[in-house]
Amino acid sequence: MKNNIDGFSKLTKEKKIDWIAATYFSEPEKATQLIKSYWNADAKLQQLHDDFIENTITNFYLPLGIAPNFLINGKYYTVPMAIEESSVVAAAAKSAKYWSERGGFKATVFNTEKIGQVHFMFNGNPEKLKTFFTEIKSKFFKDTEATTANMQKRGGGIVDIILVDKTAALENYYQLHATFQTKDSMGANFINSCLEQFAKTLKREAVAHAEFSSAEKDIEVIMSILSNYVQNCIVRVEVSCPIADLAEKNITNPREFAEKMLTAIRIAEVEPYRAVTHNKGIMNGIDAVVLATGNDFRAVEAGVHAYASKDGQYTSLSHAKIENDTFSYWMEVPLALGTVGGLTSLHPMVKLALEMLEKPSAQELMQIVAATGLAQNFAALRSLTTTGIQEGHMKMHLGNIINQFEATPQERTIIEQHFDTNAVSHAAVVTFIENLRK
């Protein structure tokens, strides 16, 4: 049977499923039944989800977990987290509780500016181009007045536009590099609309510019698009306490613990192989909240990892120090987030998540997301430098292994009791289940 098809997008959802089931599954009816079992019983709600993307056939669920007790700038938050990985929510909640008893998280947003660029080629005199840009700069603002009017009412809009000469890197390559303030919206559509108008204005004015030769008038716009590298959209989050206050059940020698944490972070600062995994742990927390609040976690991931490489080598996002018998632990990350527009006004669970967070502004959400990332990082390093990462993670993963073997309630109880006092590994659980069933 052929695996290619023409006109797939024009088929009804039912026909799409029929083709997929018949083409790829030995038991088409079972495949169809599974796909449809994830449909929402509310037809109107299902249609809403169908319309989010193209060629929708069903829903793909992720668990929505809750991490309470986040004390950020003196205010408690209960944080929603959408993620499939075991132990992430538990770790974040544990860290949140731990630091809430030691002063909580302090978070500061330094800036919320975002960047967009018009990339174009100009085969001519650079000085002529600079003069031309200076003469027409005001027209970029004027030609986008209709687009920016509502954003300006909310205190946002176009901050500045500069001409960037990139010919040293690529022959004839220049940019219109624009800075935007989008307030509580992420602003991707707003920025891209402005940029596309800039491109039209640039080409129109070049044709009319008397000082350009006929070749110079032929400016070639390659593309107009926002950047997800948001170096001017930074939030800092930190925790600190006297070293003696670090003590608790698994931290009997707080100074030794603090010094070991410091060394672990310094390893991540100098060793990229470790830094990638170190920062992945931070993103476990960040992505889960970004996803739960209807924001673009792929854009956030790209921007954060680029920021981790800004000095020429990939390095740790989090840092620590011991000073005057005080342990301090902090992180600065770029986060372009929104609390209005996009899925925030459409997806019922996103609206629920934002209401749970008491309808935060974009800046407040940046602080919450960053605090969750730092909490997750602290939890991971704490495990790595004390009991080891696998003990807690595999305890949480035990349920998944039990489910894979479709254990009965009675078997589950026996398995959980056994591994309450024994080390959990996939092999150990499989062996125990096999012996149990003998």
Which residues are part of the catalytic machinery? Answer: 85, 280, 296, 393
CA–CA separation, 146 and 154 (whole Å): 14
Q: Are 290 and 296 in contact, with CB atoms under 8 Å apart? A: yes
* CA angle, 420 then 424 then 430, to 5°: 110
| 323 CB-contact burial (10 Å; exposed 0-12 / middle 13-18 / buried 19+) | exposed
Cα separations (Å) of 418 from 395, 405, 414?
Answer: 12, 16, 6
- For residue 67, the one-letter residue type is A
Nearest to residue 370, comparing CAs of 415, 341, 400, 329?
329
Cα separations (Å) of 242 from 246, 410, 438?
Answer: 7, 47, 55
Strand 234-242 versus strand 106-109 pairing type: antiparallel
Return the sign of the alpha-carbon dihedral for residues 404, 408, 411, 415: positive
CA–CA separation, 215 and 282 (whole Å): 51
Kindly state the tokens that stand for 50: 């169908």
Give the other-Cβ count within 10 Å of 44's Cβ. 7
CA–CA separation, 382 and 258 (whole Å): 10
Nearest to residue 156, comparing CAs of 338, 379, 390?
338
Nearest to residue 220, comparing CAs of 120, 118, 119, 117?
120
Q: Are 35 and 57 in contact, with CB atoms under 8 Å apart? A: yes
| 357 CB-contact burial (10 Å; exposed 0-12 / middle 13-18 / buried 19+) | buried
